[in-house]
Chain A
């Protein structure tokens, strides 16, 4: 059984007691425990179920590479799935549940999948569920959806806060083991600024567990000494609990700091995402131990040798009483020695190498440990936990020589440098046959904006595993990094480190070497995704030669651990099956993040009201207080309508329209874009921007204009006013102000840069109010000031003056068909002016109206709306707006495009009005059917609805739409589809439904 030992555990405070909860059970641990060490201390070997077969799963590792121990953590608004027990620091009140089982961890119904393992082989999704066809939708998919997915999705809004932080350093060192600390010291000595980050809460990495001496100090003293020296320097920043999540182009690094995961009651953000720019990046990310591939290697109790050692040394936890060690390298002997020193039994070390280990082997033997060279595990015995191993010769096919009872197996298949961060930006690897690992090729490092290498691996991450080699490499790489930055490299000398004479690792990709089908079907490569040696071999047989294809076909190396343990073993198996060598197979692509980071950290503070900044008009306060029912328009919120009492939206809109048409309405039009275009060449410029002529617009007059892209398509419209000889004011749509400003700048800067024109976006400098209705003039006259009479201010003219004491610019324009003035006042007077209009308008029962009333009234008048009648494929000619396209101008944006064959085709759909025979409102976006079907068997269409409303003025539905040969088919009845599948008949009519002669606005 796994348990806490009486002594040992350098990281735990035995005087403390921390209570936590696992699957409803109350358990206890110590400060300094991880969730994994605390679970093991409580003999909780079984921690989850595998993805496909729901096999029992135990903890395999002690760090970020853990594939199995994933937990649903917390509750309610603090719930988060897939938290790794090995990287979760224990805190009082922590509550977790294991994942991927039903009804319980111990008795899981899904485990029956294991009985059908032969049907769930590689590519099973593709093979099994194709036939019969209807079964997919009704039987297979519901079943797969129910069983798929790790963990549960949170149901409540995240209660924690997160933030982003920008930082800049000459050098960022990722990894706080001895390589990272030594590299940090070397960089710091050069005077360069350096950040050293460590993903765990503790410095020193493996070296403090593995022991040895550096410059006469213990590794632990060396680490503490280094930290002291670094902390004393101004140019050094040290950060624990911060993972290098990703390395991106041009020195961009993401640091994922888990600020308060270990102490959730502290205030402040839970996670902080550091967005760092670094001149040079040193990845001292260490190495990850590989599992060995033998039958039953997924049974709880089979663990990485280094993890078994970590649990004993760091947390004083024994994984078992009797641990069999199985290895292809010398390092695993350290585990056997550490276990023996802790008073635990190691029945045997099985070394797959015929020649066995170096000096560590001698030490083990001296301690009385039985060592068997050339031996392997034929099979691990046990179900939910290990009960023993059957031993065989590595060279054979698995003939059992002996069975040994044990309750844990410590395996080591050698070490793979953690090259992830080095590779994120394209760092290349070489296969090292001697060291049996992919290691970085320093001549093919990721390059930066200057074409120079900017990511340098150091220490074990660079393939150096021995203590002295790690230190020498860290110093050499750090010197290169500071030199690359133009600093003088310091004269750091390599400290002397103790060395054990180690024998070389030997490649062991299958144990025993000749394992037959039966054993290979029980030999796991990927514990999380249930991929076995037999699956990869099957994929190869079926022609999957590319490692990327095999990954997707078998799911090897997918999901939350992204194959940190399984990838190398998997591709070695693939290489063997394809009868090629490992470099020919290559690796899959390493992509950020290194381990999953929280969605909250990615969002940072950008949520709720600060997710997107909202723009407010000066009158927003009034809208808020008067029942405004908002809709988003660009970054603005505009009142859709103002609801009174228990009114529905439709009732409010109807009231606003009727009152405006009858007496007086007000619209907050401040959001309309207002671009001032100024300079001697402005006329020429606007003639290019607009389809119609703007250069000949007289001072004091307004003209409605259309803007097209160079493709000929309509992009915006609005009223242009000539302010003086070289100044025009261009109104844009509400959503279009920034876009059209940018559009003008682009042409001015990149095409006609010699034209003397300046554009300023004045949208927010002015509040603008549309005063609309038969009593519009009366209310302005009541305010008093400038002359707004019919003759003094004619339709499509503007004038400056004062109204009720407010400095105002009054445009006599109409988007509703009523007598209408749009009045601009300085933004800071907008609310006062609005209030004055309300007060003066009281006797006319003035009624502010929202965007929906605006839309309905413009549709009653047959005016187009950008975004309704246009969708990026519509040209002015489609909307019968030839009148707004100048024939005199030689050129304007879109003119040439509108001459292309498809643009002049008579078959383009054109704008008409539509009137249902039954008076109902046509569904928005509805299509008009035409006889026959197309090649896909779908009904042919001959038109579509672009705007459709209930018109309170007319008491029935009105619509506009684009219809094939529409203007030539007035009076014809065509059929449109409804959402329920039925059809509705509509007559093609003129698009102007109300006051076609314009009598109402021209008074």
Chain B
């Protein structure tokens, strides 16, 4: 059972306090978008064995959504950060680089 630190309230959350929200950093496509873009937005998801970026909500706590960078294979957590961002903070990317040299995920590396 995972432990993730909520970047808002600082609580070290048990997984049971959280609700998962799938992949992070998905760009919304609305009216006017192509079928292909819209399909990718709705349905296409990464399924990496390794570095992954996810959304979680501290649902039985402060109620805030946040992002977590973790390894799906070892469950190592590289860090959590606020959801109000379009890409992971540099310090978290650096931390991943130190532990998983050469990593890449979608457009991030």
Chain A residues whose C-beta falls within 8 Å of the C-beta of B75 in the assembled complex: 249-250, 447, 449
Chain B residues whose C-beta falls within 8 Å of the C-beta of A101 in the assembled complex: none
B87 at interface by CB-CB < 8 Å: no
B35 at interface by CB-CB < 8 Å: yes
Structural contact, B42 and A451, CB atoms closer than 8 A: no
Chain A residues whose C-beta falls within 8 Å of the C-beta of B55 in the assembled complex: 750
Chain A residues whose C-beta falls within 8 Å of the C-beta of B65 in the assembled complex: 745-746, 749-750
Known: A250-B75, A449-B77. A900 touches B2 (CB 8 A): no
B33-64 near A? 1/0 per residue, CB < 8 Å: 10100100010000000000001010100011
Structural contact, B30 and A248, CB atoms closer than 8 A: no
Closest 3 CB pairs of A and B: A451-B76, A753-B84, A250-B3
Structural contact, B42 and A897, CB atoms closer than 8 A: yes
B50 smallest CB distance to A (angstroms):
12
At the interface with chain B, which of A221-229, A888-896, A904-912? A888-896
Of all chain B residues, which has the CB nearest A446? B74
Chain B residues whose C-beta falls within 8 Å of the C-beta of A661 in the assembled complex: none
Which residues of A approach B to under 8 Å, CB–CB? 248-252, 277, 447-451, 710-711, 742, 745-746, 749-751, 753, 890-891, 895-897, 899-901
With the chains together, A897 CA to B35 CA distance in Å? Answer: 9
A677 smallest CB distance to B (angstroms):
15
10 new A-B contacts, CB < 8 A, other than A250-B1, A447-B75, are A249-B75, A250-B75, A252-B1, A447-B74, A449-B2, A449-B3, A451-B76, A451-B99, A710-B42, A750-B84
Chain A residues whose C-beta falls within 8 Å of the C-beta of B29 in the assembled complex: 896
Structural contact, B42 and A749, CB atoms closer than 8 A: no
22 examples of A-B residue contacts, CB within 8 angstroms: A249-B2, A250-B3, A250-B75, A447-B74, A447-B75, A447-B76, A449-B3, A449-B77, A451-B74, A451-B99, A710-B28, A742-B57, A745-B63, A746-B21, A749-B64, A750-B83, A753-B83, A896-B30, A896-B32, A896-B33, A897-B42, A899-B31
Structural contact, A742 and B59, CB atoms closer than 8 A: yes
Chain A residues whose C-beta falls within 8 Å of the C-beta of B3 in the assembled complex: 250-251, 277, 449
Q: Which of A448, A896, A899 has the most CB of B within 10 A?
A: A896
Known: A742-B59, A746-B65, A890-B31. A896 touches B76 (CB 8 A): no
Of all chain B residues, which has the CB nearest A452? B76
B86 smallest CB distance to A (angstroms):
11
B76 smallest CB distance to A (angstroms):
4
Give the residue of A449, A710, A895, A897 whose beta carbon is less than 8 angstroms from that of B76. A449
Structural contact, A751 and B21, CB atoms closer than 8 A: no
A99 smallest CB distance to B (angstroms):
34
With the chains together, A275 CA to B48 CA distance in Å? Answer: 30
Structural contact, A891 and B31, CB atoms closer than 8 A: yes
With the chains together, A151 CA to B64 CA distance in Å? Answer: 49
With the chains together, A451 CA to B100 CA distance in Å? Answer: 11
With the chains together, A749 CA to B59 CA distance in Å? Answer: 13
Of all chain B residues, which has the CB nearest A450? B76
A900 smallest CB distance to B (angstroms):
7
Structural contact, A751 and B76, CB atoms closer than 8 A: no
With the chains together, A450 CA to B3 CA distance in Å? Answer: 11
A434 smallest CB distance to B (angstroms):
31
With the chains together, A750 CA to B57 CA distance in Å? Answer: 11
A895 smallest CB distance to B (angstroms):
5
Of all chain B residues, which has the CB nearest A447? B74
With the chains together, A393 CA to B50 CA distance in Å? Answer: 54
Give the residue of A252, A447, A751 whose beta carbon is less than 8 angstroms from that of B28. A751
Chain A residues whose C-beta falls within 8 Å of the C-beta of B28 in the assembled complex: 710, 751
Chain B residues whose C-beta falls within 8 Å of the C-beta of A750 in the assembled complex: 21, 55, 65, 83-84
Of all chain B residues, which has the CB nearest A893? B30
With the chains together, A249 CA to B14 CA distance in Å? Answer: 11
B55-98 near A? 1/0 per residue, CB < 8 Å: 10101000111000001001111000001100000000000000
B61 smallest CB distance to A (angstroms):
13
Structural contact, A746 and B57, CB atoms closer than 8 A: yes
Chain A residues whose C-beta falls within 8 Å of the C-beta of B77 in the assembled complex: 449-450
A218 smallest CB distance to B (angstroms):
42
Chain B residues whose C-beta falls within 8 Å of the C-beta of A896 in the assembled complex: 29-33, 38
Chain B residues whose C-beta falls within 8 Å of the C-beta of A449 in the assembled complex: 2-3, 75-77
Chain B residues whose C-beta falls within 8 Å of the C-beta of A250 in the assembled complex: 1-3, 75
B64 smallest CB distance to A (angstroms):
7
Structural contact, B42 and A711, CB atoms closer than 8 A: yes
Chain B residues whose C-beta falls within 8 Å of the C-beta of A248 in the assembled complex: 1
Structural contact, A900 and B38, CB atoms closer than 8 A: yes
Chain B residues whose C-beta falls within 8 Å of the C-beta of A901 in the assembled complex: 35
Chain A residues whose C-beta falls within 8 Å of the C-beta of B84 in the assembled complex: 749-750, 753
Of all chain A residues, which has the CB nearest B5? A449
With the chains together, A449 CA to B1 CA distance in Å? Answer: 10
With the chains together, A900 CA to B31 CA distance in Å? Answer: 11
With the chains together, A742 CA to B42 CA distance in Å? Answer: 19
Chain B residues whose C-beta falls within 8 Å of the C-beta of A277 in the assembled complex: 3, 14
A176 smallest CB distance to B (angstroms):
25
Residues 11 to 33 of chain B near chain A (Cβ within 8 Å): 14, 21, 28-33
Of all chain A residues, which has the CB nearest B75? A249
A695 smallest CB distance to B (angstroms):
17
Chain B residues whose C-beta falls within 8 Å of the C-beta of A447 in the assembled complex: 74-76
With the chains together, A451 CA to B69 CA distance in Å? Answer: 13
With the chains together, A137 CA to B39 CA distance in Å? Answer: 46
A277 smallest CB distance to B (angstroms):
7
Of all chain A residues, which has the CB nearest B67? A750
Chain B residues whose C-beta falls within 8 Å of the C-beta of A252 in the assembled complex: 1
With the chains together, A313 CA to B3 CA distance in Å? Answer: 45
With the chains together, A900 CA to B59 CA distance in Å? Answer: 33
Chain B residues whose C-beta falls within 8 Å of the C-beta of A251 in the assembled complex: 3
Chain B residues whose C-beta falls within 8 Å of the C-beta of A899 in the assembled complex: 31
With the chains together, A753 CA to B82 CA distance in Å? Answer: 11
Chain B residues whose C-beta falls within 8 Å of the C-beta of A890 in the assembled complex: 31
With the chains together, A450 CA to B76 CA distance in Å? Answer: 6
Chain B residues whose C-beta falls within 8 Å of the C-beta of A742 in the assembled complex: 57, 59
With the chains together, A353 CA to B42 CA distance in Å? Answer: 67
Of all chain B residues, which has the CB nearest A451? B76
With the chains together, A750 CA to B21 CA distance in Å? Answer: 11
With the chains together, A244 CA to B63 CA distance in Å? Answer: 33
With the chains together, A891 CA to B58 CA distance in Å? Answer: 29
Structural contact, A895 and B57, CB atoms closer than 8 A: no
With the chains together, A749 CA to B65 CA distance in Å? Answer: 7
Structural contact, A249 and B31, CB atoms closer than 8 A: no
Of all chain A residues, which has the CB nearest B74? A447
With the chains together, A900 CA to B55 CA distance in Å? Answer: 27
With the chains together, A742 CA to B74 CA distance in Å? Answer: 30
With the chains together, A750 CA to B63 CA distance in Å? Answer: 12
Chain A residues whose C-beta falls within 8 Å of the C-beta of B30 in the assembled complex: 891, 895-896
A912 smallest CB distance to B (angstroms):
30
With the chains together, A710 CA to B21 CA distance in Å? Answer: 15
Chain A residues whose C-beta falls within 8 Å of the C-beta of B2 in the assembled complex: 249-250, 449
With the chains together, A287 CA to B70 CA distance in Å? Answer: 35
A903 smallest CB distance to B (angstroms):
12
With the chains together, A749 CA to B35 CA distance in Å? Answer: 26
Give the residue of A745, A746, A895 whose beta carbon is less than 8 angstroms from that of B31. A895
With the chains together, A719 CA to B38 CA distance in Å? Answer: 30
Give the residue of B35, B63, B74 whose beta carbon is less than 8 angstroms from that of A900. B35
B59 smallest CB distance to A (angstroms):
7
With the chains together, A711 CA to B57 CA distance in Å? Answer: 21
With the chains together, A750 CA to B85 CA distance in Å? Answer: 8
Of all chain B residues, which has the CB nearest A754? B84
B94 smallest CB distance to A (angstroms):
15
Of all chain A residues, which has the CB nearest B85? A753
Of all chain A residues, which has the CB nearest B12? A277
Chain A residues whose C-beta falls within 8 Å of the C-beta of B99 in the assembled complex: 451
With the chains together, A710 CA to B33 CA distance in Å? Answer: 14
A168 smallest CB distance to B (angstroms):
10
Chain A residues whose C-beta falls within 8 Å of the C-beta of B21 in the assembled complex: 746, 750
Of all chain B residues, which has the CB nearest A752? B28
With the chains together, A451 CA to B35 CA distance in Å? Answer: 41
Chain A residues whose C-beta falls within 8 Å of the C-beta of B64 in the assembled complex: 749
Structural contact, B31 and A749, CB atoms closer than 8 A: no
Chain B residues whose C-beta falls within 8 Å of the C-beta of A450 in the assembled complex: 76-77
